[in-house]
Amino acid sequence: MTLPAVFFDRPFAHRALHDTAMGRAENSTKSIAAAVVAGYAIEIDLQLSSDGVPMVFHDYDLGRLADATGPVAQRTAADLGAIPLLHDGGGIPTLAQVLDQVTGQVPLLIEFKDQDGQMGPNVGPLGVAAAQVLLDYTGPFAVMSFNPHAVDELQRLLPDTPRGIVTDPYSADDWPTLPAQVRDHLRGIPDYGRTRSCFISHNQADLESAPVATLKSAGAAILCWTVKSANAEARARKIADNITFEGYLA
């Protein structure tokens, strides 16, 4: 499997085209609408509600982004949909709502947030719940996760969908809760072949690393996160096939 050409012809707006100064929060329907109008592809994140509904939201806790506190996983989808997003006013959307909004107009890059807590095999029901929604979607989309176990599950659940691993150099400072052996394992990106991935999305500051070079030479598509300026974009594009951006217009 290879990543289709449509995933290379426009940049990905990170958590949609969010801009709090313009009243658009991360992963909100307003930010998604803005990205579609601007013609950008869209990267979104998935978390699971307490009643098993895939929600488009990045954090595990509500406090940074919404007018509430506590874990997303302890609220129902209806509750989450009624909680206003800060600097936005809209509620937290479900994956189904976002798919109905985008309707194939632009490609979607969908990140499944780690549900294990240690990048381990306990990935929970998020993949199954999301796959049930995505199976009927006809627009272009790809799936990915930092957790290779989640990507492996997506290989079984959505075998015909392009999939990839979100990758990073995994420093102790950036990942203080991950054991050293887990960080060391993930740093080398050894699960790419096992999961039959066709791309990685790598930390843009580490694109010159040996594991990225090895995968690129073997034909892997290289995406990256998160580019925050035109200068950084120019550097990233020397290696990356496409970028995920925020904070400026790529």
The two counts, helices (H) then strands (E), for the chain are 8, 9
CB–CB of 65/105 below 8 Å?
no
The C-alpha atoms of residue 216 and residue 218 are separated, in whole angstroms, by 5
Length of the chain: 250
Q: What is the pLDDT of residue 112?
A: 99
The C-alpha atoms of residue 175 and residue 23 are separated, in whole angstroms, by 31
Give residue limits of the domains in the chain: 5-245
Residue pLDDT, tens place only, 83-97: 999 999 999 999 999
CB–CB of 221/198 below 8 Å?
yes
Share of the chain above pLDDT 90, in %: 100
Q: What is the pLDDT of residue 200?
A: 99
Beta bridge partner(s), residue 223: 201, 242
Q: What is the pLDDT of residue 62?
A: 98
SS3 128: helix
Residue 177, number of CB atoms within 10 A of its CB: 7
Q: What is the pLDDT of residue 214?
A: 98
- Write down the pTM of the prediction: 0.98
Q: What is the pLDDT of residue 210?
A: 98
Residue 72, number of CB atoms within 10 A of its CB: 24
Residue 7, CA distances (Å) to 40, 109, 139, 163, 222 in order: 11, 9, 12, 12, 11
Residue pLDDT, tens place only, 230-241: 999 999 999 999
- Provide the pLDDT confidence category of residue 132 given band limits of 50, 70 and 90: very high
- Provide the pLDDT confidence category of residue 104 given band limits of 50, 70 and 90: very high
Q: Domain 5-245 in CATH: superfamily?
A: Phosphatidylinositol (PI) phosphodiesterase (3.20.20.190)
- Provide the pLDDT confidence category of residue 150 given band limits of 50, 70 and 90: very high
CB–CB of 162/1 below 8 Å?
yes
Average pLDDT for the chain: 98
Structure tokens at 221: 């598509």
Q: What is the pLDDT of residue 93?
A: 98
Residue pLDDT, tens place only, 162-212: 999 999 999 999 999 999 999 999 999 999 999 999 999 999 999 999 999
The C-alpha atoms of residue 226 and residue 68 are separated, in whole angstroms, by 26
Q: What number is the average pLDDT over the span 119-131?
A: 98
Residues 6+ apart with CB under 8 A from 239: 207, 208, 212, 216, 222, 224
Q: What is the pLDDT of residue 165?
A: 99
Q: What is the pLDDT of residue 88?
A: 98
CB–CB of 154/167 below 8 Å?
no
Matching residue, tokens 């947030």: 113
- Provide the pLDDT confidence category of residue 101 given band limits of 50, 70 and 90: very high
Residue 45, CA distances (Å) to 14, 71, 179, 184, 218 in order: 9, 15, 24, 25, 28
Residue pLDDT, tens place only, 43-88: 999 999 999 999 999 999 999 999 999 999 999 999 999 999 999 9
Nearest to 103 by CA among 138, 132, 57: 138
Beta bridge partner(s), residue 243: 224
DSSP strands (E only) in 63-123: 108-112
